[in-house]
Amino acid sequence: MRLHKSGLMLIAAIVTGFAISRFEHLINPYYYQVLIYIGINIILASSLNLINGFAGQFSLGHAGFMAVGAYTSAVVTSQLHFASSSMLNTAAFSLALLLGGIVAAIFGLLVGIPSLRLKGDYLAITTLGFGEIIRVIVQNLDFLGGARGFTGIPKLTNFVWVFSTVAIVILLVSNLINSTYGKSFLAVRDDELAAETIGISSTRVKVIAFVTGAFFAGVAGALYAHFVTYINPAQFSFLKSFEIVVMVIIGGMGSIFGVILSAILLTILPEMLRSVAQYRMVVYSLLLIVIMITRPRGLFVRTRTAKQSVALKTLR
Amino acid sequence: MDLLTLRSCTMRFGGLTAIADLSIGLAAGDLLGLIGPNGAGKTTIFNMITGIYRPSSGQVLFDGHSIVGLKPNQIADRGIARTFQNIRLFPSMTVYETVQAAYSKGVKYGLIHAVSRCGPFHTSEEETDRAIAELLEYFELETVRNEIAISLPYGQQRKVELLRALATKPKLLLLDEPAAGMNPSEKVALMGLIERVRSDFRVSILLIDHDMRVVMGICKRLVVLDYGVKIAEGSPREIQCDSKVIEAYLGEPTE
Amino acid sequence: MSEFLQQVINGISLGSIYALIALGYTMIYGILRFINFAHGDVFMVGAFIGYFVAPHVISLTGGSLWIAAPIVLIVTMVGCSALGVTIEKLAYRPLRSRPKLTVLITAIGVSFFLEYGGQLVFGPDPKLFPTLIPSSSLINTQHVVIGTNSIVVILTAIVLMLLLRFIVYNTKMGTAMRAVSFDHRVASLMGINIDSVISFTFVLGSGLAAAASLLYASVYPSINPLMGIFPGLKAFVAAVLGGIGNLAGAALGGLIIGITETFVSGYISSSYRDAIAFAILILILLFKPSGILGRHDRDKV
Amino acid sequence: MKTYSGILAALFTTLVILGCGGGDKGDEILIGEFGSLTGTTATFGQSTHHGLELAVEETNNAGGVLGKKIRLLVEDDQSKPEEAATAVTKLITRDNVKAIIGEVASSRSLAAAPICQQFKIPMVSPASTNPEVTKKGDFIFRVCYIDPFQGEMLARFMYNSLGFKKAVILKDVKNDYSVGLAQYFRQTFESLGGTVVAEQAYSEGDSDFKAQLTALKAAEPEAMFVPGYYIEGALIVKQARELNMTMPIVGGDGWDSSKLLEVGGQAMNNTYFSTHYSTDDTAAAVRSFVTKYSARFNERPDAMAALGYDAGLILFDAIRRAGNTDGTAIRDALAATSDFTGVTGSITIDERRNARKPLVILTVENASLKYKESIQP
């Protein structure tokens, strides 16, 4: 029985998703939309958590992977879309999500390679640079609509697609991290050199983290594109990457549950602040500063022993 | 044939020569002590062997093959494990997880199995779990298995680090001042443990210490280093009488 | 050929502004080892201080720009220095012993705060920056035009850089700064007051950003609360390119980015300009990760 | 784990409670506006908002519509398309607005239009000129002309009225509006027999254009076309003049702002641009609008303000004619709009739900705007 525990959990999650989607029409569309954004943000933040939180590679280019996934999938569905048949739509969309993820993963590999030589701030600025390069290239590609954006993407994303992906990402990341295999990620994050001396290839770990993280960012981008139905390069600037990084940091790097909570919180917070319209980004930025000063390890992370904090402090 | 051979190795940093024309041989099953005053270049030798530094010139042979230019993890794969002078444990991990990390390389499944938890995953995890439990028992660490490793007392941290190195199933173990910071009775106990480990795990050991008396008891052969140059080699008794060694250590506090 | 010459002049003028901003980035990095993402926004605030102060100063001095401009420059530099020191005290100092990442995120927060706060206080619409540098053409041929703007920008940048060099290498405070950037612990053992050195660094860095903002706004006289984002980012790229923590490197990096961008815009396509700056950065980091003039930090075992 | 679940529950509760309320109070008609009050194009969002506010105040002071007061609900979209989608969904489904006004930027209108269409709520865009916008469905309208029309008219103006055959283009690649305008201009200009001898690009937010201008200058054009927004437009003209480029420079309606002359000054002489109305127009509607707007907001209205104002008035007029606030009824009334006298000219909504109205060309002489000509569709 235990052998299939993960599988069962996944199926349960997807069945629940379907059940809820039956009542989709009962949910206020605004809440529904916020829920979808929550789901997409959980996928983005959890996949970045794999790179930043578990493999310890500080990346500021996640929006770039998202863009690759979004555009790839949009091209696929615009070529394959059969509005008449829902079966074919499902097939086309599955393919689009998968291809979006795969192409993003290939870009993840390209970005992962420099990460092998770079650390900390240098890596951060390089990944930011890669994200921006991707955006600029898209902006110059006419067949993707350039700056005018890609219009007419079919609205295929729904509750089931998003939350099945959420379930898969969370399960996958937690399975990985709680396995003996996954300990190599944490070892590289904690002390790269010590990890190397027990035979762990930091190269391999970093590349796997970037490729997997990018894959899911790509899928999230594809889900996003087929929800908003219109994408343009400006949506995937480094500011989007910052947003995702902030979710990971506030949730607590390397905390699966904390990052989920912060993705939820940071999606809802701007909505709650709608009433203060022009002030909301100012409030948001102040909150960010205050949280960093008072709860630097993240809002949802248990406090560690004093000694450990000291050790972690000296790490980076 | 020797398990590890350093053949006229030289290590230069800019204009500074840290190791000069050093040759050392270590036979399988040996416990070789590498001693010398602070700053003699002992840790540099370890860094050279484990691939952290690449020797400026000379050869490092392990099991008859050159390991110069290999990455630290590749050298670890060949069967060399080490500890660090200033203990480097993984700050976020428990004792159990620390040992698990050392096993992460040898699991009998891949990424896909890890994330999907199928195939050989559960069998392999159970095997690993049993092996770790045995090791923890051997080192008398089973009571602290779920403690964060770096929150343990110093002596136990040393043990965890030694255990982490052994968990990679090395042929050669490099111990960098394992007794540093211990009181005399702890030192004696540790030396006993090292000797037992050597025979129980059939591992060769290269041990660094600047305190001669620590290693006298267990090493059959010693190499003495001063300013990157080998000044003497032989049995503990021979070393004790060597005039160059006495000169090098004169005025050195020997704890 | 004439087009080429014109592009070189355009490039140097833009590059020297990047260089001034990059110097601030690189000094703060040298001392605190973190990317002060808010630096570009301090630059923006500088432009707005100039915007509000300049008309008053100009009317007080009876319209003489040669007297007014230096006064505006000093007021703006003082204002930005105060802002920089305040940011450091309130947002960064409580985090000094925390992981760099925490400080980095805080810096992003400060950056957002200044940008959106700026939109609130100054209004989001672009403002016309008053003329501070009397604009005329020094050389004006059919093909090459060199205005007073470019010359003033380049000369001011050079003077400020020399001044900075003097402060860092020939004053007591400068020596203390270098000591702190070398090793905090050792410096404090030597009796150096780390806090005041860090504050001083922010004074210098923010002051240079203020000067850069006035030069920038004089050449491109439209200012808005988001104007700091891209010059800030480019300047940071310049600092990394030159070898972060290295003053000469920052100046060199700024010039390289300025000139390359101008050439890419002129000869290839401006649509690739932002990408090109990053592409150069990535190539340099791959082949010489410590930057052109940077020293390599070895992982201590 | 327990505390986490607690936090999670709290979060969801907040989501549900989050600003309940809204809805018609019976004596009010709720109209939603989404716009870029903050973010990169905040200045357009705020101008439109002011214009619309003025339209609402005027209408309410005159007794409202169908005996009810108009209440305007504004949502900021931070200049981001996904925020626009959320804002519009909220306005329609939570606040139950009867119609939507927005956005200036086509990218945000494109994200919002499918939602309005889905809920059958009419949407009136004040200034999105991308042809795609109104193709999203029969509930989507606009009160401005579209890019192909404007691009074509400007090309004809340059070729016929000004008589130039060799032009260069400097467009903003980051800006969909500018890219579109450049494309339509080029098509028409070349089909008329002119040549575009060089084309260069810049990115929104840039302020240094000397590199591109130097390259364009080398192509020796007779005139230059600079589609884009006013701030870059003015800087480009200014820097072009500094580089001794004295030729006429033509821009689109993105140039229309009081800031254009403020930034460009005397350098703007010998430039032309298309717009929606002229503040110097002596028509009663225009004069009254300019006076009231200046008094209310202490600044002169730009084209966006005028379009926001017209968008509001056309919508209110349609509701009045529809006789009720049913979405379909308002849609039909909007579609039937004909010869509506707005500030930006006489507006007729055509079968593609685009506004058919004159294009005004202004020129700059001695650092002040002069009416040049009106081109009828």
* Structure confidence at residue A306 (pLDDT): 41
> Cβ–Cβ of D15/A146 closer than 8 Å?
no
Which residues have C-beta within 8 Å of that of residue D25, sequence separation ≥ 6? none
Higher-pLDDT residue of A112, D225: D225
Q: DSSP per residue over D56-121, as a string?
A: HHHHHHTT-BTTBEEEEEEEE-TT-HHHHHHHHHHHHHTS--SEEE--SSHHHHHHHHHHHHHHT-
Cis before residue A192, ω within 30 degrees of 0? no
Residue D115 belongs to domain spanning = 4-145+282-357
Q: Into how many domains does chain D fold?
A: 2
The pLDDT of residue C22 is 92
Above 50 in pLDDT, residue C197? yes
CB B11 within 8 A of CB B17: yes
- Using alpha carbons, select from B239, B226, B251 the residue that is nearest to residue B39: B226
Rounded to whole angstroms, how far apart are CA atoms A69 and A240? 15
C-chain residues within 8 Å CB-CB of A191? none
For residue B49, give the 3-state DSSP assignment: helix
Tell me the C-alpha distance between D258 and D302, whole Å.
Answer: 7
The answer to whether residues D132 and D14 belong to one domain is: yes
From CA B242, how far away is CA B231, in angstroms rounded? 9
In-domain check, residue D376: no
For residues D27 and D12, membership in a common domain is answered with yes
Confidence of residue C296 (pLDDT cuts 50, 70, 90): low
Which of D16, D76, D116 to mutate against chain A (most A CBs within 10 Å)?
D76
User: Is residue D235 included in any domain, yes or no?
Assistant: yes
Average pLDDT of B146-156? 90
Please report the pLDDT score of residue B252 as a whole number.
Answer: 53
A275/D19 CB distance under 8 A: yes
Summarised one tens digit per residue, pLDDT across range D63-88 is 999 999 999 999 988 888 888 988 99
Pair D77, D158 in one domain: no
* Predicted pLDDT at B155: 85
Residue D228 burial (C-beta neighbours within 10 Å; 0-12, 13-18, 19+): buried
Instruction: Please name the residues in contact with A144: beta carbons below 8 A apart, sequence gap of 6 or more.
Output: A71, A75, A138, A150
pTM of the model: 0.86
Q: Which residue has the tokens 């127009």?
A: D281
A-chain residues within 8 Å CB-CB of D129?
none
- Residue C95 gets which letter from DSSP? G
Scanning B114-133 for CB atoms below 8 A from A yields 114-118, 121-122, 124-125, 128
Q: Are residues D269 and D291 in the same domain?
A: no
- The answer to the question of residue D372 being in a domain is no
Note whether D14 and D84 are same-domain residues: yes
User: Looking at residue A2, what is its pLDDT?
Assistant: 44
Distance from C-alpha of A217 to C-alpha of A231, rounded to nearest angstrom: 15
pLDDT bucket at C143, cuts 50 / 70 / 90: low
The candidate with the shortest Cα–Cα distance to C32, out of C97, C81, C86, C85, is C97
CA angle, A303 as apex, A300 and A304 as ends, to 5°?
135
Residues 6 or more apart whose Cβ sits within 8 Å of residue A88: A80, A82
Same-domain status, D179 and D116: no
Q: Binning pLDDT at 50, 70 and 90, where does residue A314 land?
A: very low
Q: Which amino acid is at C249?
A: G
Picking from C101, C113, C269, the nearest residue to A58 by CB comes out as C101
CB contact under 8 A, C285 and A292: no
| pLDDT at position A5 | 63
The answer to which of A56-65, A96-105, D40-49, D185-194 has the lowest mean pLDDT is: D40-49
Rounded Cα–Cα distance for residues D82 and D86 (Å): 6
pLDDT digits 0-9 by tens, A197-252: 999 999 999 999 999 999 999 999 999 999 988 898 888 988 899 889 989 988 88
Residue D24 located in a structural domain: yes
* Shared domain check, D169 and D86: no
Q: Both D18 and D135 in a single domain?
A: yes
In this model, does residue A28 exceed pLDDT 80? yes
* Residue of chain A whose Cα is closest to the Cα of D114: A229
| Domain's final residue, options D260, D275, D290 | D275
Q: pLDDT-derived band of residue B255, with 50, 70 and 90 as boundaries? A: very low
- The answer, yes or no, to whether residue B25 has pLDDT greater than 80, is yes
C-alpha B99: how far from its chain's center?
A: 16
Is D373 inside a domain boundary? no
State the pLDDT at residue A302. 60
Whether A190 and B122 lie within 8 Å, measured CB to CB:
no
* Domain annotation covers residue D368: no
Contacts of B214 (CB under 8 A, 6+ apart): B179, B187, B191
Residue A114: its chain C contacts at CB < 8 A? 282, 285-286
Q: Which of B112, B113, B117, B157 to mutate to probe the A interface, most A CBs <10 Å? A: B117
Residue D53 and residue D57: Cα distance in Å, rounded?
6
- Edge-to-edge strand list for the sheet holding D249-251: D195-202, D166-172, D223-226, D249-251, D271-275, D359-365, D368-375
Q: In this structure, what CATH number is given to the domain that contains residue D350?
A: 3.40.50.2300
Mean pLDDT in residue range D108-118: 91
How far is residue C117 from each of residues A280, A282, C124, measured CA to CA in Å? 10, 6, 10
Asked whether residue D221 falls in the same domain as residue D342, the answer is no
Q: What is the pLDDT of residues A140-173, one digit of tens each?
A: 888 898 877 888 888 888 888 998 999 999 999 9
Per-residue pLDDT at D101 exceeds 80? yes
In tens, the pLDDT along D194-220 reads: 999 999 888 776 777 888 898 899 899
pLDDT of residue D282: 80
Question: Considering only CA atoms, which of C30, C16, C42, C35 is closest in space to residue C227?
Answer: C42
Quote the tokens at residue D344.
């930006």
Give residue A1's pLDDT band: very low, low, confident or very high (50, 70, 90). very low
User: Residue D279 — very low, low, confident or very high, per pLDDT cuts 50/70/90?
Assistant: confident
Query: Under DSSP, is residue A276 helix (H, G, I), strand (E, B) or coil?
Result: helix
CA B63 to the chain's CA centroid: 17
B43 neighbourhood in chain C, CB within 8 Å = 301
Which residue has better confidence, C16 or D206? C16
Alpha-carbon span A33 to C54, nearest angstrom = 48
How does the average pLDDT of chain A come out, rounded? Answer: 84
Asked if residue D348 and residue D249 are part of one domain, the reply reads: no
Note the pLDDT tens digit of each residue in A104-137: 999 999 888 877 777 777 788 889 889 999 998 9
How sure is the predictor about D247, in pLDDT bands with cuts at 50, 70 and 90?
very high
Q: What is the mean pLDDT of chain D?
A: 87
The pairing of beta strand B172-176 with beta strand C222-223: unpaired
Q: Distance between CA atoms of D154 and D359, rounded to whole angstroms?
A: 10
pLDDT reported for residue D192: 94
Contact C109/A at CB under 8 A: yes
Compute the average pLDDT of residues C205-232. Answer: 89
* C286 contacts on A by Cβ (under 8 Å): 114, 117
CB of A188 within 8 A of CB of A55?
Answer: yes
Nearest to B61 by CA among B140, B4, B110, B112: B4
Among the residues of chain A, which ranges form H helices? 5-22, 29-49, 62-80, 86-115, 120-139, 159-177, 183-190, 192-197, 202-228, 238-251, 256-272, 280-294, 306-315
Distance (Å, rounded) from C-alpha D290 to C-alpha A151? 37
Residue with tokens 């306005």: D91
In a domain? residue D374: no
Which token pair is A71? 């555009």
Helices C148-170 and C194-219, packing angle to 10 deg: 170
D195-202 and D140-142 strand pairing: unpaired
Same domain, D140 and D196: no
Q: Do D110 and A230 touch (CB under 8 A)?
A: yes
Using CB atoms and an 8 Å cut-off, which of residues 141-170 of chain B contact chain A?
A: 148, 150-151, 164-165, 167-168
Q: Is there a domain that residue D201 lies in? A: yes
pLDDT for the residue D25: 56
| DSSP letters spanning D187-215 | HHHHHHT-EEEEEEEE-TT----HHHHHH
Q: Residue D35: phi, psi to the nearest 5?
A: -160, 170
What average pLDDT does the structure give for chain C? Answer: 85
D234, D128: one domain: no
